[in-house]
Chain A
């Protein structure tokens, strides 16, 4: 178990380092950063001043290691636009994005787990086909469009839910539903496939022969084995939701990390963009590593040779 853990952590750290490098390269892609910061009306002298002030006259490698060193201590520098430390900006907005992501994940699980189980139990019947169709519809739906439609229907015409801001829990309902839509197809399919597979196995036949109740068989035995890939995919989907929240946050005007990234991209605020890419990637790596570890706990066969 320990060896598995170490191996997984090493991979996670290496991936994080690679993403750090990519994020750094990303913001240097457009050429001279000093010109972008100084603005269109700057003279050559202004640009030189900016260059010195932000340390952009040093060799790229020095800049990179300096950034990495500081990032490891949580110091992502200062935002060009907000004139505040990037880490505090991200920390301020992270709760909104996390709430949104978790809401979306909970809604997705609440919908897709029962759907998947029902579809598996009634495999190949009309109900199964309906569930698969629902999954397909969810896959084809453009998230931003669904968000706008929900806004018009529930926000404007019916007046049930607020259409922007982060005042109360109701603000997260529509965005959460939209996010859940993107995760439901994969989770439903996986639950269904996993349940079909585990229900056909020998230990289930034994349980039935022993006379255990339907519910007990389904939930205690079949679901526990089917849960393994579902756990992994749920973690991955949460990672995608956090990374992809930028569109939803923009549509519903939720001031989360995605919205911050969106504003910063528009203002060429590179430290923020760099930091957000890195933070989101690290969260994703952490989530998948956690999912793998949970799976290894649930199923000893996955712990490696």
Chain B
């Protein structure tokens, strides 16, 4: 083995600064999400109309009690930001679970069984890709009302395509390997082969896809909430906070900058972590 090839090239995986940055962001976000009820300095829903639109700490006129100021109804911004992190992470993870279940099942079935089943799965994926996602999600929420559960279901039903594509292609690669043939000869049922042989071997690819899907789900939920058809108010979804602040943005631009930066940093962190995982698992060639 040539020593030069070991040290050459950019630092990847756990040796890369970017991956650690991403992991740190995701870690902080997870802590905020789980411990939000104890971390928030004020109640995120408590209005105080006497203290509206106080400025954050870097602007003059700052009031010591509210680190990031208050919004147009006097609610503490830092508390709403932390609570919004909880909502974003919750939605991101649950949507990924739902879409993962659908997509992985379809992909693995299509990839493993092949033939007509595979054609059907490919057709389903093509159809799903043709549907304008934001539009359909908006229409369904407008028709059926907005609640967290419904939102998660709708987004889960609309975002499974990447899972399906990756699950299908990796299953097709694994299907022809020797240990699968060995299990088949040993008399394992199809289901057992899928669960005990195929799934563990495609898991690393799926974890990478899952990470990126969490980021996508968070962005999509923010867009829907921004349009008023996502998480119902007064829940402080970051997208909703930006929408509420839109009316004031020309006078108090910091009100839309703060949740936007939070969204951007969280999604960036998740993407960096996903890329790092992709390098660690050695699956660079995946989409």
Contact = CB atoms under 8 A, between A and B. Distances in A.
Interface of A: 11, 14-16, 18-19, 22, 26-27, 29-30, 124, 129, 136-137, 139-145, 148-149, 152, 156, 236, 239, 242-244, 246-247, 250, 258, 261-262, 265-266, 268, 273, 276-277, 280-281, 284-285, 288
Contact of A152 (B136, B253, B265, B272): B253
Given A11-B126, A26-B140, A129-B10, A144 B223 contact: yes
Given A15-B127, A19-B130, A139-B271, A29 B223 contact: no
B52 interface: no
Contact of B135 (A124, A141, A142, A280): A280
Given A140-B264, A145-B264, A148-B246, A246 B127 contact: no
Most buried by A among B10, B133, B135, B250: B135
Interface residues of B, number: 43
A65 to B, nearest CB: 20
B139 A26 contact: yes
Interface in B122-147: 123, 126-127, 129-136, 138-140, 142-144
Contacts of B275: 136
B123 A124 contact: no
A41 B161 CA distance: 43
A230 to B, nearest CB: 14
B136 A277 contact: yes
B174 interface: no
B208 to A, nearest CB: 14
Closest 3 CB pairs between A and B? A243-B132, A140-B268, A145-B260
A247 B134 contact: yes
Nearest to B269: A140
Interface string B222-233: 110011010000
Contacts of A156: 250
A261 B138 CA distance: 10
Given A152-B249, A247-B223, A280-B135, A285 B130 contact: yes
Nearest to B216: A139
Given A26-B136, A145-B256, A265-B142, 7 more contacts: A15-B126, A142-B260, A243-B133, A246-B134, A246-B227, A247-B226, A262-B227
B270 to A, nearest CB: 8
A247 B126 CA distance: 24
A148 B140 contact: no
Contacts of A262: 138, 227
A166 to B, nearest CB: 20
Interface of B: 9-10, 123, 126-127, 129-136, 138-140, 142-144, 215, 219, 222-223, 226-227, 229, 239, 242, 246, 249-250, 253, 256-257, 260, 263-265, 267-268, 271-272, 275
B51 to A, nearest CB: 24
B131 A277 contact: yes
A141 B271 CA distance: 11
B47 to A, nearest CB: 24
Given A152-B250, A284-B130, A285-B130, A15 B271 contact: no
Contacts of B219: 142
A143 B139 contact: no
A22 B131 contact: yes
B132 A14 contact: no
B135 A266 contact: no
Nearest to A186: B287
Nearest to A143: B223
B248 to A, nearest CB: 11
Contacts of A18: 123, 127
A139 B260 CA distance: 14
A243 B253 CA distance: 29
A57 to B, nearest CB: 21
Contacts of A145: 242, 256, 260, 263-264
A11 B265 CA distance: 40
15 contacts: A14-B123, A15-B130, A136-B275, A140-B267, A142-B222, A142-B223, A142-B239, A144-B222, A144-B223, A145-B242, A148-B242, A149-B260, A152-B250, A243-B134, A262-B227
